[in-house]
Copies of this chain bind each other. A is one copy, B any other.
Amino acid sequence: MQIKDLGEQGILQIVQKFCPPDIIGDDGAILDFPNSRNLVVTSDMLVDNVHFSDRTTSAFDAGWRATAANLSDLAAMGAEPLGITIALGLPASTEVNWLEQLYQGIKECLDQYQTPIVGGDLVRSPVKTIAITAFGHSRLDFKICRHVAQVNQVIVATGIHGLAKAGLEILLKPEIAVNLSDQVKQKFIQAHQRPQPRLDVLKILGEILVSESLPGQFQQPIAIAGMDSSDGLADAITQICRASKVGAYIDGKNIPIPPEMEKLVSEKEAINWALYGGEDFQLILCLPINIGKKLVQKLQYGATIVGVTTACDTDIVLVDSQGLRQKLTSDRSFQHF
Taking CB atoms, residues of chain B closer than 8 Å to A25 are 145-147, 243
Q: Do A45 and B336 have beta carbons less than 8 Å apart?
A: no
Q: Do A39 and B82 have beta carbons less than 8 Å apart?
A: yes
Taking CB atoms, residues of chain B closer than 8 Å to A145 are 25-26, 30
- Give the A interface residue count (CB, 8 A): 71
Q: Do A8 and B45 have beta carbons less than 8 Å apart?
A: no
How many Å from the CB of A177 to the closest CB on chain B? Answer: 30
How many Å from the CB of A76 to the closest CB on chain B? Answer: 4
How many Å from the CB of A244 to the closest CB on chain B? Answer: 11
Assembled-state Cα–Cα distance A126/B126 (Å):
9
List A residues 9-41 near B (Cβ within 8 Å): 11, 25-33, 35-41
**Does A172 have its Cβ within 8 Å of any Cβ on chain B?**
no
Report which of B31, B89, B127, B337 forms a contact with A3, defined as CB distance below 8 A: B337
Q: Do B87 and A43 have beta carbons less than 8 Å apart?
A: yes
**Does A311 have its Cβ within 8 Å of any Cβ on chain B?**
no
Assembled-state Cα–Cα distance A47/B189 (Å):
34
**Does A175 have its Cβ within 8 Å of any Cβ on chain B?**
no
How many Å from the CB of A155 to the closest CB on chain B? Answer: 17
Q: Do B39 and A135 have beta carbons less than 8 Å apart?
A: yes
How many Å from the CB of A217 to the closest CB on chain B? Answer: 22
**Does A168 have its Cβ within 8 Å of any Cβ on chain B?**
no
Binds B, one of A53-61, A116-124, A249-257, A295-303: A116-124
**Does A143 have its Cβ within 8 Å of any Cβ on chain B?**
yes
**Does A179 have its Cβ within 8 Å of any Cβ on chain B?**
no
Taking CB atoms, residues of chain B closer than 8 Å to A30 are 38-40, 77, 79, 138, 143, 145
**Does A272 have its Cβ within 8 Å of any Cβ on chain B?**
no
How many Å from the CB of A220 to the closest CB on chain B? Answer: 15
Q: Do B129 and A125 have beta carbons less than 8 Å apart?
A: yes
Assembled-state Cα–Cα distance A42/B41 (Å):
13
Q: List 9 A-B contacts (CB under 8 A).
A: A27-B76, A27-B77, A28-B40, A30-B145, A31-B39, A33-B37, A41-B83, A43-B87, A126-B127
New contact pairs (20) apart from A30-B38, A46-B123, CB-CB < 8 Å:
A3-B337, A7-B335, A8-B336, A26-B227, A27-B42, A28-B41, A28-B73, A29-B41, A30-B145, A33-B39, A35-B36, A39-B82, A41-B83, A41-B85, A44-B87, A45-B123, A47-B123, A85-B133, A87-B87, A87-B133
